Chain A
Amino acid sequence: MKNFAYVRPNSVEDAVSRATSDRDALFIAGGTNLVDRLKVFLDEPSQLLDVSRLAMKQIATTNEGGLKIGALVTNTALANNIDVRNNYPLLSRAILAGASQQIRNMATVGGNLMQRTRCPYYYDTAFPCNKRQPDTGCPAATGINRIHAILGSSDRCVAVNPSDMSVAMVALDATLEVQGVEGKREIPFVDFHRLPGNTPERDTNLEPGELITAVILPPVSFAQSGVYLKLRDRASYAFALVSVATALEVSGEQIKNARIALGGVAHKPWRATEAEEFLIGKAANKSNFEQAAEIALKDAQALAHNGFKIELSKRAIRRALAVSAQGGGEA
């Protein structure tokens, strides 16, 4: 690790102004992703701005009946919050499916949403990588790519976003509140993470210097049907090969509303909007769930070693939707 200056900004404004005037500065919150990256020289900041002591640790009910979650709420605190467990169980489960208790205790909401890919080529500075150093190449495209993207990748980058929490947030139509030197702005969660395109070095649409201050969840009347199903190489403490978040509003025999989001398959948490639209007005049965899964994966493209993810995703969607149709719970 290269050495750096360590600063504790005394307010959000102070943090943002320091980060804007020094483009080589980085925020640190829980540190569980950044310290790891620093150790392998992926980042060499001039200074670390420790925002972990700032006052963004509240979870409050909004006027609309949703929740406003401070960016420094820990993953553990959010997953265990009683309103989240009652009203957004798929968010609790998604968080609890990630990492380990020790990491979740340190990790914050903002840091989780900003964590970077676990692509082994990105992590190993002996390899070129367009994400780490633009225009050097993507060895994953032709290398060992079992964990890589099947949707929305480009010839520049086939990495996937590793966050479980983000998959739940995109399914729940969350909004991010961010602060820059010019003031606050809001970003719909679905527009927050980017596809790689020609600029894989940019994971998100956060502008330099901007700090995430909160995430806002709208009320989702049918969120109790929420399911988070995570499939991985071992039963716990591993990143997703494929994960699925679903929720369904079923009235009588008819589906009124559907949410389907996928993790582990793309450079961003993947909302399967077309499959959701297909389900609306249909009966909540096996054959419709099968068709929805086909629609969600119709543009999927396999690399040399990750073709299995396409079938795995379809099966996961079918299973998660079936559990959501029964009212939710463990999938």
Chain B
Amino acid sequence: MSNEEKKLSPKQRSRRNFLGQSLTAAGAAIAAPSLLNSCQNKTADSASNDLVEGETMIRLKINGEFQKLNVEPRVTLLDALREQLGLTGSKKGCDHGQCGACTVIIDGERVYSCLTLAVMQEDKEITTIEGLATEDNLHPVQMAFLDNDGFQCGYCTPGQICASVALLDEIKNGSVSYVTPDLTSPPELASLSETEIKERMSGNLCRCSAYNGIVAAVQQAAGQTPPSPAASIENQQVEEVS
């Protein structure tokens, strides 16, 4: 991120703003508003009264709002979010539970939206990446990803962020992992080791391999002082020279 961008308020560097700016830069400004509008209209209520054969009408609670939609039972939650509700923040990387790009939070727990059917999620509280920021502020985990370069292309990032948000709650709830040395004493936020973070984030792959930044972002969000990945590379070089 350039220094100028860093000076912007969180709201100014929101995703929507970014999308609009980059489309303008690419000379396709006209496409931006219509793209956004069509998504917003769909979000309001994507269910019409006439069901196509094989469809049922379901009601999902997403980011605090109820949405009605007509789906066939075979539609995954990920496809419902992206194709019917215009919530394209959740990404389809593999569609087989192998990458984490589609991670959302349901009833407080992170899950892969590609491995569950939309019909199965009625009455649950679904939070997607679109639901983390408030009107004025990014979520602290979103800020931490920005501050620590926790991404390159950004495709895996919504999943990484949702996973990290849930991870922090898991630590607060005393959950253990495969690498927890003593299963009867789970780590706390302050003592959460790099090994623990890597194991607990292993369900989210990053093709750009921004892993150092992702670990640092989780450390920051956990209240630890993260080593900036760039800084630690510089330190290594200094050590080698001296």
Contacts and interface: CB of A to CB of B under 8 A. Distances in A.
A226 to B, nearest CB: 10
Interface in A63-102: 76, 79-80, 85-86, 89, 92-93, 96-97, 99-102
A76 B175 contact: yes
Nearest to B173: A80
Contacts of B96: 36, 39
A330 B174 CA distance: 18
B56, B100, B109 — most chain A CB neighbours (10 Å): B109
Contacts of B72: 3
Contacts of A99: 97, 203
A237 B175 CA distance: 18
A329 B180 CA distance: 10
Interface string B134-159: 00000000000000000000000000
Contacts, number: 105
B203 A103 contact: yes
Contact of B175 (A30, A32, A80, A93): A80
A5 B74 CA distance: 9
B19 to A, nearest CB: 27
A38 B163 CA distance: 25
A144 interface: no
B97 A103 contact: yes
Interface string A11-37: 000000000000000001011100110
A4 interface: yes
Interface in A224-256: 235-237
Size category, B interface: 35 or more
Given A28-B120, A39-B95, A103 B115 contact: yes
A133 to B, nearest CB: 22
A100 B203 contact: yes
Contacts of A237: 202-203
A97 B183 contact: no
B119 interface: yes
A50 interface: yes
Interface of B: 54, 56, 72-74, 76, 95-97, 100, 103, 109-112, 114-117, 119-120, 163, 166-167, 170, 174-179, 181-184, 198-200, 202-204
Given A35-B115, A39-B96, A236-B199, 7 more contacts: A30-B116, A35-B114, A36-B96, A85-B176, A102-B111, A103-B97, A105-B109
